[in-house]
């Protein structure tokens, strides 16, 4: 499969800043056919970024959505609205959504179902806290989050999904899992998908690593067999550093 590189801007960049970033990134990138690049701007910049990436190899993702199609949910955005902005992907269950905004495995699953039903590709985030890792509960936490996040997702739905392993202790901290640690968890996830579905599905399911990814560690992370791409946070905010990550060796 093609490596998948996603830049999650989180709550950064106004529309003019987003436009400037995309202009500079396009100047730095050749036409890419061997890897897929996705940018996840804030909701306010989705339309602007989507318009500027038409005809390029850059795709657009939303950072979140609501599981209901419409209704009295002030401040929320539906899957149809996200798709209408030109998004192909949507990030679901990011650790910041879980820890800061109370998302649970149940609500993550509802969002995954809604995303797939609306033709979007959900990037389903899973990951353990430092306390869980230090108590040797990493695999238990990951297995539960993957199982619950994909509950009720049939074979045709799983083919649209992306999983992202983002150890909570490595997000925005400057710490990162070693390539070996990332590979260990990615292999565990893939083996679980094979048991739940089939080997072909497991082999074709992109599993990304997220957690303080930067130009200095991208090459070693991507050298691991089961690391199919990365979900980049802070290092995706500067066009130069994000371009270096995209053009990993």
Angle, helix 179-196 to helix 138-149, in steps of 10 degrees:
40
Known catalytic residue: 94?
A: yes
Known catalytic residue: 134?
A: no
User: Which one from 66, 94, 186, 214 is the annotated catalytic residue?
Assistant: 94
Record the tokens describing residue 158, joined without a space.
């799983």
Judge whether 207 and 163 are in contact, CB under 8 Å. Answer: yes
User: Which one from 36, 103, 166, 224 is the annotated catalytic residue?
Assistant: 166
User: What is the separation, in whole angstroms, between the first and last Cα of the chain?
Assistant: 16
Judge whether 182 and 227 are in contact, CB under 8 Å. Answer: yes
Judge whether 121 and 158 are in contact, CB under 8 Å. Answer: no
Helix%, strand%, coil% for the chain, nearest 5 = 45, 15, 40
Instruction: Provide the β-strand partners of residue 39.
Output: 7, 60
| Active site residue ranges | 94, 166
């Amino acid at each position: 499969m093609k490596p998948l590189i996603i830049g999650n801007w989180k709550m950064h960049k106004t529309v003019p800043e987003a436009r400037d970033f995309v202009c500079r990134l396009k100047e730095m990138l050749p036409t890419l056919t061997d890897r897929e690049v996705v940018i996840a701007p804030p909701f306010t910049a989705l339309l602007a970024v989507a318009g500027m990436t038409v005809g390029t190899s850059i795709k657009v993702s939303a950072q979140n959505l609501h599981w209901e199609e419409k209704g009295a949910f002030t401040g929320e955005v539906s899957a149809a609205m996200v798709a209408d902005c030109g998004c192909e992907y949507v990030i679901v269950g990011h650790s910041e959504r879980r820890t800061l905004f109370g998302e649970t495995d149940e609500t993550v699953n509802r969002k995954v179902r809604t995303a797939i039903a609306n033709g979007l590709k959900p990037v389903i985030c899973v990951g353990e806290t430092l306390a869980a890792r230090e108590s040797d509960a990493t695999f238990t936490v990951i297995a539960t989050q993957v199982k619950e996040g994909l509950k009720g997702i049939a074979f045709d739905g799983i083919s649209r999904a992306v999983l992202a392993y983002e150890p909570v202790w490595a997000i925005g901290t400057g710490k990162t899992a070693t390539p070996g640690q990332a590979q260990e968890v990615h292999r565990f996830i893939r083996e679980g998908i094979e048991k739940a579905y089939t080997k072909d599905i497991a082999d074709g399911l992109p599993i990304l690593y997220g957690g303080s990814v930067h130009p200095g560690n991208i090459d070693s992370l991507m050298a691991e067999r089961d690391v199919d791409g990365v979900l980049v946070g802070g290092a995706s905010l500067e066009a130069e550093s994000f371009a270096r990550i995209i053009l990993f060796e």
